[in-house]
Amino acid sequence: MFAYYLDLAARSLKRNKVLTALMVLAIAVGIGASMTTLTVMHLLSCDPLPTRSGTLFFPQVDPNPYPDGPSLPYDMMDYRSAVDLWSAHRADRQALIAHGQLKLTAPQVNLPPLMAQVLSTTSEFFPMFDVPFRYGHGWSAQDDASRARVAVISADLNNKLFNGADSVGRTLRLKDSDVRIVGVLDAWRPSPQFYDVAGGRFDDGQTGDFYGRTEDVFLPLNSSSDINPVGFNFFTCWSMPQSDATLQTSPCVWMTLWVQLDSPAKVRSYRQFVADYAALQKSAGRFARADNTQLRSLMGWLDFNHVVPSDVRLQMWVAFAFLLICLFNTVGLLLAKFLRRSGEIGVRRALGASRAAIMAQCLFEAGLIGLLGGIGGLLLTLLGLWLVRRQPVAYADLVHLDTAMFLATFALAIAASLLAGLLPAIRASRMAPGLQLKMT
């Protein structure tokens, strides 16, 4: 029966090619617009670490000593609070993170100095975030403690400096210090760049640097402090630092801490640990509000920061509204097409065809229109994504059509066309055969 209905549908579509083309075009345009925006939305809202995100958490405390400070804890921590929590070793894995820039040169490489983006962290950053290596490996906890002058570099920097060759053991000069390369990352660019999400919560269409490229150089935090103690980016300060203060002693927040907690019991225990730490700091007069703490999961932290820009959400809803308009037009065209074939339907009903058979035939025709519209929609989606990649937005070069979105294009096209064909099919199946035969 499938082949029979398919043959009937193909014959019917060939009878009126202009009408068929209009319906296919309506579906294709609606699918192209909606799938372009849905693909971008899928990219921006996807889980950057699907195998591990459920065990990664972002603790926050409020080191502000003034009770009239912000109602929510800062997105970052001051040096003392971050190091205190990290030093307690209450998580399965944990990593301190700070960002900065340093002048970089490579001996025996004929390139001018670069301003490198530097991520200063601790040894468990790499295994905790499943960071892949092309050459070498990360440094050890002993390297953290001994303030070893070692570094891991990105694949992009390795390509730029060493033409992609194994550079483990070679030397980089950062500011006025030499560091030895111990590892080179493989292609790694989490989307969004979750470990660098702070100060988000944009409502004006911005995306921050959540989709930027991976940092050029990764250094042990202590070594980075020795090389350039004032080279870190700070988030904000709750009062003016004293003239002789360092970042480590300033009333500023500039570090983050990520922890891995492998069970719900450990999550509860760590949340209590953070609350107890804040209470202890309040009793010591350092914190004003001990209850202003948070322990957000990775996906909860991304949602809290509104990582998906509001204009992308708006564009998606506008595109789906456009698809709905296209479907209404398709409903009208299908209804006119099926009612025009009332004589044919009457003959089939008189020869014993059931209402279900007539309805199935009409839905097969609508589904075939959806399949053809899906092919056209796929081409328009690829064109739309090509145009997005040429826009001046941080995530532009990440936009692509993956397997899931490829299948979703055809699924949405066929589902939309079947939905559009449902009412006309019901109307066609309910035609009185006697009346139609008499008119014929």
Domain ranges of the chain: 2-48+309-439, 53-304
Angle between helices 342-350 and 355-388 (to 10 degrees): 140
Residue 28 near residue 327 (C-beta atoms within 8 A): no
Q: What is the pLDDT of residue 311?
A: 67
Q: Count Cβ atoms below 10 Å from residue 364 Cβ, excluding itself.
A: 23
Say what the pLDDT of residue 203 is.
41
Measured between alpha carbons, how far is residue 44 from residues 48, 213, 394, 403 in Å?
9, 15, 11, 16
- What does DSSP assign to residue 290? T
Picking from 43, 99, 49, 51, the residue whose alpha carbon sits closest to that of residue 75 is 99
Q: Is the peptide bond before 192 cis (omega within 30 degrees of 0)?
A: yes
**Residue the block writes with tokens 């991304």:** 302
CA 151 to CA 119: how far, in whole Å? 10
pLDDT of residue 217: 95
Task: Check if the beta carbon of residue 381 is closer than 8 Å to that of residue 28.
Answer: no
3-class DSSP assignment, residue 59: strand
Neighbours of 71 (CB within 10 A): 7
This prediction's pTM: 0.74
Q: What is the pLDDT of residue 427?
A: 76
Rounded Cα–Cα distance for residues 193 and 66 (Å):
32
The predicted structure's pLDDT at residue 424: 80
Averages of pLDDT over each 10 residues, the chain, 440 residues: 69 79 88 86 80 93 86 90 95 95 88 91 96 96 95 95 94 93 92 73 44 84 90 81 75 93 96 96 91 92 77 77 85 78 66 74 83 89 87 72 84 85 77 54
